[in-house]
Amino acid sequence: MTSGAIDAAEGVADVVIVGSGAAGGMAAYSLTKAGLRCLLLEAGRDYDPQAEVNMTAPESDAPLRGAATPDKPFGYFDATVGGGWQVDGEPYTMREGTDFRWYRSRMLGGRTNHWGRHVPRWGPYDFKPFSRDGLGVDWPIGYDDIAPFYDRVERMIGVNGGRIELENHPDSPPGCLMPPPKPRIPEMLLKAACESLGIPVRPAHTAVLTRDMPDDVAPRAACFNATPCTRGCPIGAMFQTTTSFLPMAKATGRLTVVTDAMVARVVMASANRAAGVEYVDRKTGARHQVKSRVVVLAAGTCETTRLLLNSGGSERPGGLANYSGQLGRNLTDSTGASFRAHIPELADRPRYNEDGIGGQHMYIPFWLYQQQKRGELDFPRGYHFELGGRFGIPPAAALPRVWGKGLKQAVRSASGASIAMVLRGEMIPNKDTYCEIDPGVKDRFGIPVLRFAFRWSQHEINQVAHGRRTAHAVFKRMNGTILDPELPPEKLITAGGEIIHELGTARMGADARSSVVDSYGQTWDVDNLVLMDGAIFASGAHKNPTLTILALALRASEQLAARFKSGAFA
Amino acid sequence: MTPSRRETLQWMMAAAALPLARWSPPAMAAGQNTTAPFDVVDWPEVLPPPPARGYGRDPDLMTPKVPWPLTLSNKQRATVDLLGDLILPADERSPGAGTLGVGAFVDEWISAPYPIQRADRALLIGGLIWLDAQSRALHGATFDAIAPSQRDGLLDALVVAAPVVRMAKPVAFMDTLRHLFVLGFYSLPEGKADMGFIGDQPTPGDYPGPSEEALAHLAQVLDHLGLASS
């Protein structure tokens, strides 16, 4: 626990915020700057990137050379604390036939300490999908409503990137983006090959600073073009709330942070008014209640949903704020599939430093909106490719089955000669994909757990099949040897949840009948209960969600502050 | 976990400068060859490993430690180092993998309490026992005591694309060995230097991008492929 403006046990906070990731961090920053006294509850332990990130150690210092294990699914040095695909003592279950993965951490800053950093803007079509193809639902807001918040979020978190100049890929106004890094050789080759096939390749938008970002409290330095971002970034070049929003919010003197506080339920004052929350101290097991004028849930899409489902009591067996019956429904993840080839033309290519800003510098935005509109494609929603290909240990499939000097020569020759095209696509909500409370299973705190049901539809299967045809056509244009195993698309596609883009289980809408919250995340049923994370998305798009989570959280926080000012919670 | 899923995770890991990808060896078509290279001895039974604890979900990242006990005897470890020096031998660019102690890495790997490592453990320990038994059957001595040309003959038999059924496990053993040697060797500073790897160096300022030499090479590649630069 850190010092702040409120004694958690005694006082009444203006706002209690559940979760310290992207949405909770933004809420804490925006609301404290607006003068509100906030109590932030984080289920995980305190975490300080400056003290705990082993930024420069070689992988050979780690057990198993840093390889992924069930304890650390993204490698030993990865910045995931206390979790992964499983959290000890906090299970989740699945309906028969479901394969769903739920990635959680238990640390201050949540999943911003390890994330993909790819932050494309969503475009006009992404907010009106039903109007375009008759599937899913439209958002109650459009691109023009969110654009000013994108502008501000890009400047607040620090995003580098170039112009895209393509349909449904809005460009940022001048002054929003930092300059992008130069492309690497494999990215330049991919660009030439793709463009000869009519496929665009553009500078990615990435939440990594390429210019210093001074601040009195939390200064952040430009990327120094080394060390893996997924370990976390003590110099602050990669955006994570633990090096930005959280210290800045604390510096206002109006934020109290309590870690190891696992929120069990929203406590109600009356039928349509929340009184605060009840949490379990993860270290002692003791239960505490805290009072607040407003409750903000930003625990992550599924955890927020679980909280509401567990907060109904006997009066609302379907869960709190679930008049619409939509709570837990409309769960989506991004589709995912990876394609790889060995490019003989790149064998033995000249060495140079290819680290750059960590991840991709270039990517392939979706480019077939017109064909889709004309009905020429057998899938309704888009995808993009993230691009990989760097010097390093070549994949086994690119090495001949030899031993001796020939194996050493083969490794040298193949290093840097493999290229990856990694698909991320939009999933459309379907009735067979949702989360609910498991009637028979509780976690170690006695809190009922989530049970998942998940199914890809033919829309997603066809999309991934199209992605494979595209990737293989690009590889062939480079005279590449395809390294992918022959699998049908339904086996090629990732498991639900595996891309860690869970969204939609408390969706926003125009009315209380068809949605859980309004466009400001305010629940229709409970006046002072506001949701700010990915749960409120009305659709998933193929574009990574974090920039939009941040923009919606900023918009919701400012609306909430305005309501405080107007006396709504006096 | 299907290969595609595993590879998705691999790709995430590839954000690291030196991706430590899980090996997925080329598919083997067992049984296509009709004759074995020699009379193949039986694959041995391997006892299941003793229970051991992993490093948990919140290990100390600043002082990494391997918490599980190791498995191999001194003689077994020496045999792995010998195999390391044969499979990735010393040459003008770098020492042999065994000389750099790849046996210790293999021991750490196969002793770990995780599913991939436990599966590799059964193959590796079984393989070491098999190799000595096969060596004795053919040449009257364990693998470390036979002549270099006899060792070469054994290893050659373990890299065929389509082994007979009785050779499928020994060949899978060799695949795993090669994987672990590549991972264990090229993740060391000496191995990175062997590959000519340049990186892991803080470079403040804008990313410099490819060198003139690398750009000139790309121009040649584009020309070969009939592609316009863009």
A290-327 confidence digits (pLDDT tens)? 999 999 999 999 999 999 999 999 999 999 999 999 99
- Measured over the CA atoms of residue A136, residue A141, residue A145 and residue A151, the dihedral's sign is negative
H or E, element range at A146: helix A143-157
**Collapsed DSSP state (helix, strand, coil) of residue A139:** coil
Q: Is A477 a member of any domain?
A: yes
How many other C-beta atoms lie within 10 A of the C-beta of residue A488? 10
Query: Crossing angle for the helix pair B115-139 and B74-87, nearest 10 degrees?
Result: 90
Contact B225 A345 (CB under 8 A): yes
Helix (H) or strand (E) holding A7: none
Write down the number of H helices and E strands in chain A. 13, 16
Q: Which residue has the higher pLDDT, B52 or A8?
A: B52
The per-residue DSSP string of A491-560 comes to HHSPPBTTTS--B-TT-B-SSTTT-SB-TTSBBSS-TTEEE-SGGG-S---SS-SHHHHHHHHHHHHHHH
Confirm whether the ipTM is greater than 0.90: yes
Q: Is the residue at A260 inside a domain? A: no
pTM exceeds 0.90 for this model: yes
Confidence of residue B50 (pLDDT cuts 50, 70, 90): confident
- Using CA atoms, how far apart are residues B8 and A337, in angstroms rounded to an integer? 7
Q: Give the gap in angstroms from C-alpha B146 to the nearest C-alpha of chain A.
A: 18
Chain A residues close to B24, C-beta within 8 Å = 395-397, 485
Residue found under tokens 């000249």: A350
Kindly report, residue by residue over A377-408, the tens digit of the pLDDT: 999 999 999 999 999 999 999 999 999 999 99
User: Tell me, what amino acid is at A120?
Assistant: P
Residue A403 lies in a domain: yes
**Alpha-carbon gap, residue A265 to A448, rounded angstroms:** 11
Element (H, E) at A389: none
Whole-angstrom distance, CA of residue A133 vs CA of residue A111: 33
In chain B, the percentage of residues whose pLDDT exceeds 90 is 79
Contacts of B215 in chain A (CB under 8 A): 185
C-alpha A408/C-alpha A414 separation (Å) is 10
In chain B, residues with a C-beta closer than 8 Å to the C-beta of A191 are: 230
Predicted confidence at residue B161, as pLDDT, reads 87
Structure confidence by residue, pLDDT tens digits, A475-513: 999 999 999 999 999 999 999 999 999 999 999 999 999
Query: Which residues of A are less than 8 Å from B195 in CB distance?
Result: 391-393, 411-412, 415
- Report the alpha-carbon distance of residue A281 to residue B89 in Å, rounded: 56
Whether A63 and B23 lie within 8 Å, measured CB to CB = no
- Pick from A393, A411, A456, A500 the residue to mutate for testing the B interface (most B CBs within 10 Å): A393
Q: Per-residue pLDDT for A568 more than 80? A: yes
Residue B35: pLDDT band with limits 50, 70, 90: confident
Q: Give the closest residue to A52 by CA, choosing from B58, B55, B68.
A: B58
**d(CA A519, nearest CA chain B) in Å:** 33
Q: Which of A499, A425, A498, A497 minimizes the C-alpha distance to A467? A: A425
Q: Is the pLDDT of residue B7 over 90?
A: no
Asked if A494 lies within 8 A of B196 by C-beta distance, the reply is no
Residues of A in Cβ contact (< 8 Å) with B149: none
> With an 8 Å Cβ cutoff, are B204 and A224 in contact?
yes
Q: Which of B2, B116, B19 is nearest to A494 (CA)?
A: B2
* Chain B closest-CA separation from residue A523 CA (Å): 35
Mean pLDDT of chain A: 97
Residue-level length of chain B: 230
CB burial of residue A33 (10 Å; 0-12, 13-18, 19+)? middle
* The pLDDT of residue A508: 98
> Is some CB atom of chain B closer than 8 A to the CB atom of A338?
yes
Predicted local confidence at residue B37, as pLDDT: 84
A473 interfaces chain B, CB cutoff of 8 Å: no
- Tokens standing for A471? 């990737």
Pick from A279, A291, A295, A333: which is nearest to A447 by CA?
A: A279
Chain B residues in contact with A485 by the CB 8 A cut-off are 3-4, 24, 27
Instruction: For residue B158, list chain A residues with Cβ-Cβ distance below 8 A.
Output: 403
Residue B182 has its nearest CB partner, among A74, A116, A393, at A393
A490 touches chain B (CB under 8 A): no
pLDDT tens track for B139-173? 999 999 999 999 999 999 999 989 999 999 999 99
pLDDT exceeds 60 at position A252: yes
Residue B2 has pLDDT above 50, yes or no: no
In this structure, is residue A355 part of a structural domain?
yes
Please report the pLDDT score of residue B15 as a whole number. 32
* Arithmetic mean of pLDDT, B69-79: 97
The pLDDT of residue B3 is above 50: no
**A18 falls within a domain:** no
- DSSP code of residue A336: E
Residue B75 structure tokens: 């003689």
Asked if A462 and A468 count as a contact pair (C-beta separation under 8 A), the reply is: no
Q: Return the H-helix or E-strand segment holding A304.
A: helix A301-309
Contact at CB, B64 and A61, closer than 8 angstroms: yes
**Cβ contacts (< 8 Å) between A85 and chain B: which residues?**
none
pLDDT in tens, A167-208: 999 999 999 999 999 999 999 999 999 999 999 999 999 999
**Residue of B61, B108, B179 to mutate, interface with A, max A Cβ within 10 Å:** B61
Q: Among partner residues A185, A349, A355, which is closest to B199 by beta-carbon distance?
A: A355
pLDDT above 70 covers a percentage of chain A that reads 98
Task: Write down the pLDDT at residue B33.
Answer: 55
Contact state of B20 with A56 under an 8 Å Cβ cutoff: no
**What is the domain count for chain A?**
1
Q: Does position A5 have pLDDT exceeding 60, yes or no?
A: no
Count of CB contacts below 8 A, A vs B? 305
A136 SS3 class:
coil
**∠ CA A426-A430-A431, rounded to 5°:** 165
Range of the domain at A361: 181-203+335-425+457-492
Q: In the 8-state DSSP scheme, what is residue A64?
A: G
Chain A hits for B82, CB-CB cut-off 8 Å, are none
Subunit contact A63:B65, Cβ cutoff 8 A: yes
Q: Which of B24, B59, B203 sits opposite A226 (nearest CB)?
A: B203
DSSP-derived secondary structure for A479-506: TPEE------HHHHSPPBTTTS--B-TT
* Domain presence at residue A6: no
Cβ pair B203:A391 closer than 8 A:
no
Q: Using CB atoms, which residue from B7, B54, B86 is nearest to A71?
A: B54
What span, in angstroms and rounded, lies between the C-alpha atoms of A564 and A239?
29
CB neighbours of A511 closer than 8 A, spacing ≥ 6? A524
In this complex, the residue of B179, B188, B225 whose CB is nearest that of residue A396 is B179
Cα of A359 to nearest chain B Cα, Å: 5
Interface contact flag, A230 B187, Cβ < 8 Å = no
Residues in chain A, overall count: 570
Give A494's contacts in chain B (Cβ within 8 Å): 4-5, 8
Query: Following CA atoms A528, A532, A533, A534 in sequence, which dihedral angle do they give, to the nearest 10 degrees?
Result: 100
* pLDDT for residue A570: 82
Residue A286: how many CB atoms within 10 A of its CB?
A: 9
The H-assigned helical ranges of B14-113 are 74-87, 102-110
Please answer yes or no on whether B61 and A396 come within 8 Å at the CB atom: no
pLDDT digits (tens, 9 = 90+) for A503-523: 999 999 999 999 999 999 999
Pair of tokens at residue A167: 């349909």
Residues in B touching A479 (Cβ below 8 Å): 225
Nearest CA in chain A to B65: A63
Q: Which residue in B has a C-alpha nearest to residue A191's C-alpha?
A: B230
- pLDDT band at A6; cut points 50, 70, 90: low
Confidence of residue B11 (pLDDT cuts 50, 70, 90): very low
A22: helix, strand or coil? helix
| pLDDT tier for residue A360 given thresholds of 50, 70 and 90 | very high
In this predicted model, what pLDDT tens digit does every residue of A51-90 receive, in sequence order? 999 999 999 999 999 999 999 999 999 999 999 999 999 9
For A214-235, the pLDDT digits (tens) are 999 999 999 999 999 999 999 9
Contact B206/A210, CB-based, under 8 Å?
yes
Q: What is the pLDDT of residue A216?
A: 97
Chain B residues whose CB is inside 8 A of the A64 CB are: 108-109, 112, 117
Question: How does pLDDT run across A404-438, given as a tens digit for each residue?
Answer: 999 999 999 999 999 999 999 999 999 999 999 99
The predicted structure's pLDDT at residue A444: 98
Does the distance separating the beta carbons of A404 and B89 come in below 8 Å?
A: yes
CB-based contact A189 B197, cutoff 8 Å: no
CB A182 to CB B207 under 8 A? yes
> Considering the domain boundaries, does residue A370 fall inside one?
yes
For residue B13, pLDDT over 50 is answered with no
**Amino acid making up residue A208:** V
Q: Is residue A252 part of a domain?
A: no
CATH number of residue A488's parent domain: 3.30.410
Cβ contacts of A149 within 8 Å, gap of 6 or more: A551, A552, A554, A555
DSSP for B95-139, please give it. --TTTTTHHHHHHHHHTS-SHHHHHHHHHHHHHHHHHHHHHHHHH
